[in-house]
């Protein structure tokens, strides 16, 4: 449900969820704009309410924004929240192919680049690309200041990955929603991982894509999808260009880049474990639960010790040296998912997909994942809260591309046999399974 009369105001809010009593739990530092945009991006249906309280132009601006943020969602306009049930019930909207693509903004943006940019009711978007790293202090000043100055002040949403000069081994997840900008740790760059540990075929794929690869810096680059209102694309791109390293700064090399002032350094060090012993870093990641930062840290540690096609380091699963990627998934499901498993899966989509990509046997990994889901909802400390969410958990895993329709249907068709737990899980999964069959 989207409030047509207040959405732009909410996107401009500086309130944290905790300020309104909406936080998911202790330590939830998200802001109202972040939550709002996350919900808009994942929805299948967006009900645009209070249309009678805004002008035709204002309504058009909101509708265009929703299409930019989530092109696949159906937008239904209402007044006084009046909506016939037939608009929602029995529609079988779930589409596995589309769900597997979501929320791949950059892929969609690339596919649309051959068509002229359109501006509807002042809402437009473009993809910013850079082959040089960002100076973290200049980037923070440009996107993190309130109010933002210049053309960047017209941004409503920005999302993508970035290359920070002070973090040459690791991607940064960049996200802006309304007034709030964040830059958080992402997975390692492939060029920071020995090629012997790459999945088969990756080298040829990367080197064939000149947009994504260059001989000197590998796959390091920045790609940011920018959506704004009355947004001057050229001016905004020029302002972002001022945030990347100059030729003189580039010539200084990685050692000089690492010494640049970095307002994100302290937060990243805390999230990534800082200088603590590795055992403490793993414990920190477990205690933090499944967040993009904690999973990125685990994957990074596994990568440095042997994340290769089908293998992770014995540092992560000590009992099973050279254990398969499936074991790391088991570690995540057993130790890091909680009552908010669905939202955790959605928030960690990029990291989970990265881990899944390292599996040499995707079909086997999918069967194992379904087994972990079954255990999570029937035989874990969170089972009482999660059993009723079985269908939603499976849908979330399908939505980020970790499960395919056939794998779920095959599992469900086997029946429960002598296992009561399996029977409970299959029964709880029926709403989603019926949707797949339909």
Q: Tell which wins on pLDDT, 250 or 103.
A: 250
357 and 295 co-located in one domain? yes
- Angle CA 82–83–88, to nearest 5: 160
Per-residue pLDDT band for 67 (boundaries 50, 70, 90) equals confident
DSSP state of 226: E
Q: Tell which wins on pLDDT, 13 or 308.
A: 13
Among the candidates 72, 100, 128, a domain finishes at 100
124 and 81 co-located in one domain? no
Across the range 12-30, mean pLDDT stands at 72
- Angle CA 326–331–334, to nearest 5: 120
Which residues, 6+ apart, have CB-to-CB distance to 235 below 8 Å? 150, 151
Q: Over the stretch 161-174, which tens digit does the pLDDT of each residue have?
A: 999 999 988 899 99
DSSP character string of 225-270: EEEEES--HHHHHHHHHTTBPPHHHHHTHHHHHHTS--TTHHHHHH
In a domain, 267, yes or no: no
Integer angstrom CA distances of residue 72 from 69, 280, 383: 9, 42, 33
Tell whether the model's pLDDT for residue 316 goes beyond 90. no
DSSP state of 116: P
77 and 112 co-located in one domain? no
329 and 372 co-located in one domain? yes
Q: What is the pTM of this model?
A: 0.52
Tell whether the model's pLDDT for residue 319 goes beyond 60. no
Range of the domain at 368: 272-437
Per-residue pLDDT band for 103 (boundaries 50, 70, 90) equals very low
In a domain, 266, yes or no: no
Alpha carbon distance, N-terminus to C-terminus of the chain: 26
- Angle CA 159–162–163, to nearest 5: 180
85 and 126 co-located in one domain? no
In a domain, 337, yes or no: yes
pLDDT value for 146: 83
Cross-strand pairs, 177: 157, 180
Contact (CB, 8 A) for 387 and 339: no
Q: How many angstroms from the chain centroid is the CA of residue 149?
A: 27
Integer angstrom CA distances of residue 29 from 25, 32, 180: 9, 10, 11
pLDDT value for 419: 65
92 and 208 co-located in one domain? no
177 and 277 co-located in one domain? no
Q: Over the stretch 278-304, which tens digit does the pLDDT of each residue have?
A: 434 444 445 456 788 778 777 766 655
242 and 304 co-located in one domain? no
Residue 103 preceded by cis peptide, ω within 30: yes
> Which pair of tokens denotes residue 255?
């050692």
In a domain, 265, yes or no: no
- Tell me how many domains the chain contains: 3
128 and 248 co-located in one domain? yes
């Amino acid at each position: 449900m989207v409030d047509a009369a207040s959405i732009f105001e909410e996107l401009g809010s500086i309130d944290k969820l905790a300020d309104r009593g909406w936080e998911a739990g202790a330590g939830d530092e998200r802001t109202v704009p972040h939550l709002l945009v996350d919900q808009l991006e994942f929805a299948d249906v967006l009900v645009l309410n209070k249309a009678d309280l805004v002008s035709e132009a204002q309504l058009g601006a909101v509708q265009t924004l929703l299409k930019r943020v989530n092109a696949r969602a159906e937008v239904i306009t209402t007044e006084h929240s009046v909506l016939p049930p037939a608009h929602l019930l029995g529609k079988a909207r779930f589409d596995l192919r589309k769900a597997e693509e979501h929320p791949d903004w950059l892929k969609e943006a690339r596919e649309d680049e051959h068509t002229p940019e359109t501006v509807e009711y002042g809402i437009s978007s473009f993809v910013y690309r850079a082959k040089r790293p960002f100076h973290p202090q200049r980037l923070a000043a440009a996107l993190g200041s309130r109010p933002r100055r210049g053309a960047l002040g017209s941004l409503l949403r920005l999302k993508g990955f970035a290359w920070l000069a002070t973090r040459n081994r690791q991607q940064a997840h960049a996200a802006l929603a309304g007034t709030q900008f964040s830059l958080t740790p992402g997975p390692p760059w492939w060029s920071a991982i020995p090629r012997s540990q790459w999945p088969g075929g990756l080298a040829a794929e990367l080197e064939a894509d000149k947009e994504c690869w260059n001989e000197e810096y590998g796959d390091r680059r920045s790609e940011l999808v920018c959506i704004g209102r009355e947004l001057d694309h050229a001016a905004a791109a020029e302002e972002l260009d001022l945030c990347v390293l100059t030729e003189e700064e580039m010539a200084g090399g990685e050692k000089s880049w690492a010494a640049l002032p970095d307002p994100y350094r302290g937060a990243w060090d805390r999230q990534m474990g800082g200088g603590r012993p590795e055992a403490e870093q793993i414990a920190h990641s477990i205690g933090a639960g499944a967040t993009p930062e904690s999973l990125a840290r685990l994957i990074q540690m596994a990568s440095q010790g042997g994340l290769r096609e089908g293998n992770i380091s014995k540092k992560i699963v000590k009992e099973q040296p050279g254990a398969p990627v499936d074991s790391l998934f088991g570690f995540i499901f057993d130790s890091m998912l909680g009552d908010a498993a669905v939202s955790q899966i959605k928030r960690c989509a990029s990291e989970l997909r990265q881990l899944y990509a390292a599996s040499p046997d995707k079909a086997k990994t999918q069967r194992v994942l379904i087994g972990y889901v079954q255990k999570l909802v029937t035989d874990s400390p969170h089972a009482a809260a999660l059993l009723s969410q079985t269908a939603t958990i499976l849908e979330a895993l399908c939505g980020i591309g970790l499960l395919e329709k056939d794998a779920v249907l095959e599992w469900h068709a086997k029946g429960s046999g002598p296992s009561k737990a399996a029977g409970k899980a299959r029964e709880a999964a029926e709403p989603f399974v019926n949707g797949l069959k339909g």
